[in-house]
Amino acid sequence: MPRGAVAEPEIGPDTARVPEPPRSAKGLLAVLVGAGLAFAMLAVAAHRVPYFAVDLAITRAIQSVSLQWLDVPLWTLNAMGFPPVVGIVYGLLIASIFVAGARWEALSSGFAVLGGVALNHASKLLVARPRPSIELIAVEHQHIANSSFPAGHVLNFTALAGFLCCLVALRMAQSWQRTTLVSSLIALIVLMGVARIDSGENAPRPRPVPAPARFLSRSIRRSIPAIAFRCSRDRARSALIPRSALRRDRRVFLTALAA
């Protein structure tokens, strides 16, 4: 070897090498970058154009179909996306993962959900797309005043259900059970989108709430005032509150019951 030349290190079996990222990781990064760019382009388009003709055509086509056996699933998915139900359901799912021993996975799912919430609120503030008009399509929840892009129900549910798909695919061996779970989660994500379109936020004329859901909602509304009145009555008896105060409480609770 010539004088002054630097000897190259010998590479043997014990020499440490910097591992190259697997192809799957590179593919996932490409998917994330592509999805981010697509979302950004959709956000810009939604900010500039209030309604696309294809949006109205798809919404009217879905709302024109009346399948009673789908009413309950779609209503349930819609209700599951509104607070406080969404926080309770998602929180219980994440807590279940944590209790099962998959603590890192539970933290990751919580990060996915909170990240989806943050992205949803930030995008709504920036895009500020108006909600559909009742003159264009049937709209079920007309009290919602925030931006219609993105669909918060779909974004948040996709974040959690999509993470669960990855978790099932990575933690379970290849089997029909794994295929069934992943397919079911993907189907629920698609149904959540259909539920939001159908609610128009619902059919060419407002469709009645399904009977089981209507019965449950009515039962809850009636039970709360009744329980509160019984507690007030028992408290009045124990503290010897005048009957006039008790009658006043009764009128208040009966008014709430009739509402």
- What pLDDT digit, counting tens, does each position of 70-86 carry? 888 888 998 888 889 99
Do 69 and 97 belong to one domain?
Answer: yes
DSSP string, 172-188: S-SSHHHHHHHHHHHHH
Sign, CA dihedral 183-124-88-62, equals negative
Do 219 and 100 belong to one domain?
Answer: no
- What pLDDT digit, counting tens, does each position of 40-52 carry? 998 898 888 877 7
Asked if residue 11 is part of any domain, the answer here is no
- What pLDDT digit, counting tens, does each position of 117-142 carry? 999 989 888 888 887 777 777 777 66
User: What pLDDT band is residue 37 in, cutting at 50, 70 and 90?
Assistant: very high
Torsion of CA 155, 77, 197, 31, to 10 degrees: 30
Asked if residue 157 is part of any domain, the answer here is yes
CB 148 within 8 A of CB 132: yes
Asked if residue 2 is part of any domain, the answer here is no
What does the alpha-carbon distance between residue 252 and residue 259 come to, in Å, rounded to a whole number?
11
- What pLDDT digit, counting tens, does each position of 84-98 carry? 999 999 999 999 999
Asked if residue 110 is part of any domain, the answer here is yes
- Residue 221: domain span: 215-258
Do 176 and 111 belong to one domain?
Answer: yes
- What pLDDT digit, counting tens, does each position of 137-151 carry? 777 766 676 777 888
Say how many domains are in the chain: 2
Do 119 and 99 belong to one domain?
Answer: yes
Nearest residue to 43 (alpha-carbon basis) of 154, 128, 143, 159: 128
Asked if residue 58 is part of any domain, the answer here is yes
Do 202 and 247 belong to one domain?
Answer: no
Do 161 and 47 belong to one domain?
Answer: yes
Residues sharing a CB contact under 8 Å with residue 213, sequence separation 6 or more, in sequence order:
72, 75, 76, 79
